[in-house]
Structure 1
Amino acid sequence: MFSFRGCGGRVAASFTKRQFPLPRLSNDSAAPRTPHFDVIVIGGGHAGTEAATAAARCGSQTLLLTHRVDTIDFDGGQMSCNPSFGGIGKGHLMREVDALDGLCSRICDQSGVHYKVLNRCKGPAVWGLRAQIDRKLYKQNMQKEILSTPLLTVQEGAVEDLILTEPEPEHTGKCRVSGVVLVLTLMDGSTVYSESVILTTGTFLRGMIVIGLEMHPAGRLGDQPSIGLAQTLEKLGFVVGRLKTGTPPRIAKESINFSILNKQTPDNPSLPFSFMNETVWIKPEDQLPCYLTHTNPRVDEIVLKNLHLNSHVKETIRGPRSMAPLVMRKLQLK
């Protein structure tokens, strides 16, 4: 659908900013009833913000629907799980997004507090850029970018249903989705029209939070999951599942003895993620250090004795990383 314009896309957009009005920011209670958008993106996380801005850069009138504008991007601006970017796999992915004029690398270069290239002792093929991020600063910079993007409207609202027109005869298969789509928002029952809908629901699509032995529906701690949309997708013939994410534990800083840990300083000079930048926003001497530690047999013993108190740990086959060893074992058995 999109014809990405590469690194020149952002430059072209800057030339035409004055031709387009700034996007409207609204909520369900007082939303302007716009009858039609070229593209509607559901979800304001990493994928949603990239998809919405990419569509807008291509000249499409775009609507980004998110539960809460104050958390827009994010697992990224909100950064629920881990305040870092990059690594071996994700670092390569960020460079690819940046080559398509995406946002995350540029915003990362404006918001980090520690930049380092991993695996320098090995060959360049396995080097991986990594940055520790200031969560508030990233959120602030991403929202500023999103809300100033021409042709992009951001609206708060939970999507309850997708109402589709009759599919075209040439579209065959179990999921015959085509034609004009009506997006029904949950809060006031209003409808928004579009010919293209992009779902980037992340953890919200019939999401569950697991704390110890307790489980309750939620998209993120404090946010409601998207139930109606999941039911709609199942009616359309899609298979809806759930993979665990695994939120890392938080440790009180004052409880750590940093003197016995392996101190890691940032790179000097620090390499930026984006090809558009020559440097990051903060000097190496002003960045924060990281510290490396290891577990020991005593930690293993504590974890093994308390597995029965944590349903999340026992669900090892529901995560993408933990599925790999299981698949390999099955292949070996064959």
Structure 2
Amino acid sequence: MFSNVYDIIIVGGGHAGSEAASASSKMGSKTLLITTNLQTIGQLSCNPAVGGIAKGQIVREIDALGGLSAVVTDYSTIQFRMLNKSKGPAVWSPRAQCDRRLYSNFWRFFLEKRNKLDLYQDTVTSLIIKNYIVKGVKTALGVKIKAKSVILTNGTFLNGKIHIGSKKISGGRIAEKEVKGITEQLVNIFGLKFGRMKTGTSPRVDGRSLDYKKMKVQEGDLNPKKFSFFYKTKKLKKQHKCYIAYTNHIVHDFIKENIAHSPIFSDSIQGSSPRYCPSIEEKIYRFSDKEEHPIFIEPEGWNTNEVYINGFSTSFPEKIQYDALKNIYGFDNVKILRPGYAIEYDYFPPDQLKPTLESKIIENLFFAGQINGTTGYEEAAAQGLIAGINAHMKIKENSPLMLKRNQAYIGVLIDDLITKGTMEPYRMFTSRAEYRMLLRQDNADERLTYIGYDIGLISKKNMNLVGKKTYLIEKCISFFRKKNVDPIVINPILNNKNSPIIFSKKKIETILSRSGIEIEDLVSIPFIKEEIKNNVFSKEILEQVSIRIKYKGYIDREEENAKRLLRLENIIIPHNFDYKKMKSLSLEAREKLNYYRPISLAQASRISGITPSDLSILLICIRR
């Protein structure tokens, strides 16, 4: 039986809850993870994939800080692809198809290894709060459990409502009950703001009923990588194939004829839909000029015929889903195993949170994941990790972890949420980051592992691995900068690559910095080959060296911009600063600064409506 007193209680066992529980317990807090169903811990509720554009960078950052998402993904990967390889390294993004069952099982496995973590199956229906300080939780079974801190990671379960055509089913996921009580308590008694959001999922079909010969094959990478820098899982020798099909005018016309049957268009759903992951009916309506839309057929695991139809999220009635699908080339004999559906749920606008993800209104209450208005496993996991860390830090009276925008995509994510809020499901993109050349997926370990080590989530062994990697990169770059290459050696290579030949010795770095010249073109030169062999410069090291030499100008420029931002970040605004007395500020500025309570001049500058003039006045007052 579990204890009735904990340091930290985490409500919800999705990606946010799992990362929060792992972090807080590993750091030494006695932690309880309560979830309605212990069999669905860390479940991939929607598509069976982790990573993607910007999301892959987040997973690698979680790993660098000591989280588990990358490790669990590596253990359950059935296909790996590095996206955007035809573009610059700032937007290269790892993505893995996962075995849905293995993924959840490995999350459970790793969490059960945490000595200070208890798991408990029950539903939290209210919080114990005294004088606006959270003291614990109450469950549906009438159990009261005390805690110094509580983290809410309820996902889509708060007053969740599932829509399939005209059918409305109460639930947080299909066949799983909604959670009532928490929203009502926080809003009606404590005055928190809330809203409704909508997301959706696609039908699952029997892969044996599809004709893959009529589809485009999507293979995994020839040399698949891993997400985790530290855990060395077995090399992925065999990979599952994915496939791409396309909608057509018959499908589009059919959906248009039946669009009134979609609850999205019949006004049955009031919540805001995700802009960047619309349902198929929304795609057809919003992009009426498009003749086709890609549909991605993604296997659910090694030992199942079930496949996920990515790109066909819908809330149509089951019969309309079936009739629309069977008109897609290759889907003539499709068999639906589970229909798609939309789900509406409560969220709490994240501008009510501190940068630590703690509530501004209720002390020691943290929020993480979809409850903050985000969408995506990766965004949720990142918030859970930070909330778990900061809940522990608050209890121990240590300084919190607040990542800056130039440090991590996680920093961009949280800063966007708390300074801008969100009126629609928030999804991370590389375009949201001003410093994406610095925040690459390949250097997350160098950026963040020292932080994970300092707070106790990264071992000394893994910290040393990163130190060795950094040393080898610097040594290899130094060699390339100092050593010359003769024209007689390099000109045949330059000719072959249609690059201008040289007439005198040039530094290797100068040659490599040319467009069209890759590091692989140079490794056959005997003295370079010998240097690589003697120092055991791996492919990973050589790739890092190539990126840093080729994109040095971009990297230097972003580092300089980041330094300028840091000067503003270091100008701290006292927490009790009285904006109302600053009559020289505009009324709008006073109201917004008083509401958001920014911790630095840099954060204040990112609040909508705050002008450069306001910042100058604020700076003068802070210095006084």
Alpha carbons 1:212, 1:312 under 8 Å: kept: no
Q: 52, 55, 67: which one pairs with 2:21?
A: 52
User: How far is the alpha carbon of 1:270 from its aligned partner?
Assistant: 0.7
Q: Measure the CA separation in 2 of the matches of 1:182 and 1:292.
A: 48
CA RMSD of aligned residues (A): 2.2
| 8 Å Cα contact 1:67-1:157 kept in structure 2 | yes
Matches within 5 A, 1:1-334: 31-32=1-2, 34-73=3-42, 77=43, 79-166=44-131, 177-178=132-133, 180-187=134-141, 189-235=142-188, 236-278=190-232, 280-284=233-237, 286-312=238-264, 315=269, 318-321=272-275
2:75 partner letter: Q
1:174 aligned residue: none
**Higher helix proportion, which one?**
2
- What are structure 1's unaligned runs of at least 5 residues? 1-30, 167-176, 328-334
**Normalising by structure 2, what TM-score?**
0.43
Residues 222-252 of structure 1, C-alpha deviations (whole Å, 9 max, x = no match): 1111111121121221222222221012233
TM-score, normalisation: structure 1: 0.78
Unpaired segments ≥5 residues, structure 2: 279-285, 287-422, 424-624
Q: CA offset at residue 255 of structure 1? A: 2.8
What secondary structure does 1:263 align onto? strand
CA shift in 2, pair 1:283/1:126, >3 Å: same
Amino acid aligned to 1:310: S
Instruction: Measure, in 1, the Cα distance between the counterparts of 2:251 and 2:235.
Output: 37
Tell me how far 1:89 sits from its aligned partner: 2.5
Q: In 2, Cα distance between the equivalents of 1:102 and 1:263? A: 33
Residue 86 of structure 2 aligns to which amino acid in structure 1? C
Write the distance in 2 (CA, Å) between the matches of 1:273 and 1:306: 42
Could you say what secondary structure the match of 2:174 adopts?
Answer: coil
> In structure 1, how many angstroms separate the alpha carbons of the residues matched to 2:91 and 2:136?
45
When the two structures are aligned, how many residues end up with a matched partner? 278
Equivalent residues of 1:210, 1:312 under 8 A apart: no
Spell out, residue by residue over 1:45-89, the C-alpha distance to the aligned partner (whole angstroms, 9 max, x if none): 00000011111111100010100111112xxx3x22111111102
Q: Cα offset for 1:265?
A: 1.3
CA deviations 1:276-300 (Å, max 9, x no partner) are: 145x53534x111111122122221
- CA distance 1:273–1:231, change in 2 (3 Å): same
Which residue identity is paired with 2:248? N
Counterpart CA distance in 2 for 1:155 and 1:127 is: 39
Secondary structure of the corresponding residue to residue 139 of structure 1: helix
> 8 Å contact 1:111–1:281 — kept in the other structure?
no
| Deviation readout 1:17-51 (Å, 9 max, x if unpaired) | xxxxxxxxxxxxxx44x231111100000000001
Measured against aligned partners, the alpha-carbon deviations of 1:166-220 in whole angstroms (never above 9, x if no partner) come to: 2xxxxxxxxxx32x51311111x12111121000000111111111121121011
Inter-CA distance 181–59: structure 2 relative to 1 (3 Å threshold): same
User: Identity rate of aligned residues, in percent?
Assistant: 37
Which structure has more RCO (C-alpha within 8 Å, separation ≥ 6)? 1
User: Could you tell me whether the CA contact under 8 Å between 2:162 and 2:168 is conserved in 1?
Assistant: yes
* Secondary structure of the structure 1 residue equivalent to 2:138: strand
Say whether the 8 Å CA contact 1:211–1:312 is kept in structure 2: no
Q: 1:165: how far off?
A: 1.3
